[in-house]
Structure 1
């Protein structure tokens, strides 16, 4: 195996057989992308601008919004390059870099959701020590740890992509680069790259999810023991948004991970559409969930627009 020539290219694909409709398909996609950027950008701005939201819970939410913005910005150029300009060529190195960042951010999002569960656990189990346990320095360390874990874990299979010869078709299945799509084109022993994601799913995503479930079992046990019904309701309300984001993220991930295995004869259009759902649905829905379910975020948004109107 030798290092690929950096001039070598892959060809990105939109929706096969629907090329004449690409510009029409791009309209709802553009609306979704714009909504993701505006929604998560607004969340980040409100959290930064409103000192009432300078708490660990909202710092973790800011990390989640930043991750959602990141995966959106990384895929925008190639998605609309294909749909608007029919620019399908992408250099190998650029493709590998895009795949690395997409998968790193998705892994980081799992870690952020786990950190948010820990935050709710401390807030409900040890409310008097909440500020002393989750200091700003500790929150920053958790965030850096989550990002480092994701970046290092995804590196081995991505690095191997640089050394594979690609002597089969150069056509990828999407308008962006994914690891599982790239290895399909390699003319080499890809056993490691096939097995590694499976181990990763069970060793990281599933483990994160199980720890989150265990954390919420302990949280609910604590809530049940609270004497006041009003305080029980308040405690559960602070968890509602997070639970919604967990369900959205892990359900879409499970569908994408297991669809090819249980629907081998499904039309390619189904798999292509699901990849968009996996990448775009959580970033699109998360700001909506938090804006609807979290009163402090609602107040921050109202305060922001009130100040804007008063200045004009």
Structure 2
């Protein structure tokens, strides 16, 4: 019953934030329904603010889901969706693309935006595949964890080297590294929604196996869990979710780490509801941070990744103090 109640709370909070997001623009509070007969205000609300809010929620949901999967697979409360080097791989992909093509993430050309998105996604997935190769599969979680750390450090150094060799892309990379939802449109929202549905289906199908894995590998095997298959599916879902979110919104920190902790602090449940609630909580966190980033210093806009890092780090420090 408590799970259902918190699910309803998160749904109502999402709806309220989506309405609020439509009413917040570059000048602060400017709801389109107060500008009676202004077609331009409604076009801005529907074509710019609404898809940005929906896309921010979906990107946050993917990061929250990826964080819950990572913490379940690695049985580590400090695991996050970037654990397998996907963030560094995405950054390297964008850096190489910018160095070769010479465009900015703020470019309005659809072809350029698709190129940047594709480069980030390919970089993220490539980093995860490299981690899997170095770890020789998904059989050993400790080896997988160490390989992810190594891949993240090496690819991060390569992206920094790329920026050093081509200094012109440093400013363009800043928007991606700090995270931004300003370029999300309806096309991005549909892509994120499709990835979220696929990732949730796979994660839900493996949720009972995650419950068994929480007891240890030996207990899971004795309960009939096919560890290699389950880990491969979960790592694939995590990589897909993280890669899509990073490709569309850049590197947004702490959402994937904080969302599962926030759910566990309120609800004690199995992994099935935990995965869904973590996705909803991640969406609420990123959407709320996006609205705050637009509103606090309007007409200036804060990088949403910086705001999530400050709020997420503050929340975890508060939890540590309480514990």
Give the TM-score normalised by structure 1.
0.32
Bigger Rg over Cα = 1
Which structure is higher in RCO with an 8 Å CA cutoff and minimum separation 6? 2
